[in-house]
Chains A and B, each alone.
Chain A
């Protein structure tokens, strides 16, 4: 009895969804002109030179928030499975030459990551890509200097703080759009609305920064949890 009512309701709802397109007033916009609209008016509406970033963080920003939630869930699951407590102490690392060379190169890699993040609305790149570059630094540090060094310099608590901070920044900007302009993740308050400047395109650069730190810290946490597991297994073997 109960099941049949639910099935009836579902059939009604799906019929409504199927025929809902018939009730839309006929316009030219409906059929396959979304791409054209974005290409011709994307720069005016969002102020972002990079149209891919405009789609990711303005037209479909809700999608990007879902993706970052997926990464958050992945990190949480991996940390839950491979717990924080069994920490490895490997302070040996690679040879003298590799340590010094990487110590020389690391700030430049950090700068490049920041460049890719902050210029996401001007040139190819953006939060996800720059975040991966930032995460690489922590990974190479724990390979080159030994994971104990990486643990001392960037403890997992800092990384967790960065990750949640990035996610919260994204949500805060979304809420700001809701308060100031009336819908979630609206492109509010462009300080300088002149396309091509570093500070332009409304809230897109700030979303980029949040996503970048979130992805970098998340990748570093995933890598760290995995190596501590393998390290313990190697210890047991020998």
Chain B
């Protein structure tokens, strides 16, 4: 009983720390694409950790299954959404990256136009 609560608090606390890191990244990073990187990776893992922590805290078959399903939905949908935003903002030239040494996607797009 107590061990379960400690595990759930640890999971939720780790999720909270990752969420704070996400916000810092969103404010401090210079470019749209790097900010999207922060939002995609760190926010996903924070949401998944918080939902799993809540599932462990509740510890009841149906409720926990529902909460874990919400977590899996985050795991799928958040990277998809950020991928779509980054891709379309590059294609429509809304915000091009300032510095780039390798840009393979532009080559791909040019090949697609030919």
Binding site for B on A (CB under 8 A): 94-95, 97-98, 101-102, 104-105, 108
Whether A104 and B83, one on each chain, are in contact in the complex, defined by CB atoms closer than 8 angstroms, is no
Q: Which residues of B contact A98 (CB under 8 A)?
A: 80, 83-84
**Residues from chain B with Cβ under 8 Å of A97 in the complex:** 80, 83-84
Interface centre among B77, B80, B83, B88 (most CB of A within 10 A): B80
Of residues 89 to 114 in B, which have CB atoms within 8 Å of A's CB atoms?
none
- Please tell me if the beta carbons of B84 and A94 are within 8 angstroms of each other in the complex: yes
The number of A-B residue pairs with CB atoms under 8 Å apart is: 21
Shortest distance from the beta carbon of B55 to any chain A beta carbon, whole Å? 18
The answer, yes or no, to whether B76 is at the interface (CB within 8 Å) is yes
Interface on chain A toward B: helix, strand, loop, or mixed SS? helix
The interface residues of chain A lying within 8 Å CB-to-CB of B76 are 101, 104-105
For residue B83, which residues in chain A have a CB less than 8 angstroms away from its CB?
95, 97-98
- In the assembly, what is the distance between CA of A95 and CA of B109, in Å? 13
Q: Which residue of A lies closest to B83 (CB)?
A: A97
Q: For residue B69, which residue of chain A has the nearest CB?
A: A108
B positions within 8 Å CB-CB of A = 73, 76-77, 80, 83-84, 87-88
Interface pair A105/B84, CB less than 8 Å apart: no
A33 to B42, CA, bound (A): 53
| Bound: A104/B75 CA distance, A | 13
**B63: min CB distance to chain A, Å:** 13
* A to B CB contacts below 8 Å, 18 in the list: A94-B84, A94-B87, A94-B88, A95-B83, A95-B84, A95-B87, A97-B83, A98-B80, A98-B83, A98-B84, A101-B76, A101-B77, A101-B80, A102-B80, A104-B76, A105-B73, A105-B76, A108-B73
Chain A residue with minimal CB distance to B88? Answer: A94
Q: How far is the CB of A175 from chain B (nearest CB, A)?
A: 39
Q: Give the distance to chain A from B61, nearest Cβ to Cβ, in Å.
A: 17
Which 10 A-B pairs rank lowest in CB-CB distance, beginning with the nearest? Answer: A101-B80, A98-B84, A98-B80, A95-B87, A97-B83, A94-B84, A101-B76, A97-B80, A105-B76, A95-B84
Q: How far is the CB of B108 from chain A (nearest CB, A)?
A: 11
Minimum Cβ distance to chain B for residue A144 (Å):
9
Q: Which residue of A lies closest to B87 (CB)?
A: A95
Nearest B residue to A102 via CB reads B80
A residues less than 8 Å from B87 (CB atoms): 94-95
CA distance A226 to B109 in the complex (A): 30
- Other than A95-B87, A101-B77, A104-B76, give 13 A-B pairs with Cβ distance below 8 A: A94-B87, A94-B88, A97-B80, A97-B84, A98-B80, A98-B83, A98-B84, A101-B76, A102-B80, A105-B73, A105-B76, A105-B77, A108-B73
Give CA–CA (A104, B72) in the complex, Å. Answer: 12
For B77, list chain A residues within 8 Å (CB).
Answer: 101, 105
Scoring A101, A102, A105, A108 by chain B CB atoms within 10 A of each residue's CB, the highest score goes to A101
Q: Which residues of B contact A108 (CB under 8 A)?
A: 73
CA distance A98 to B84 in the complex (A): 7
Q: What's the nearest-Cβ distance from chain B to residue A90, in Å?
A: 15
Cα-based distance from A108 to B84 in the complex (angstroms): 21
In angstroms, how far is the closest chain A Cβ from the Cβ of B69?
8
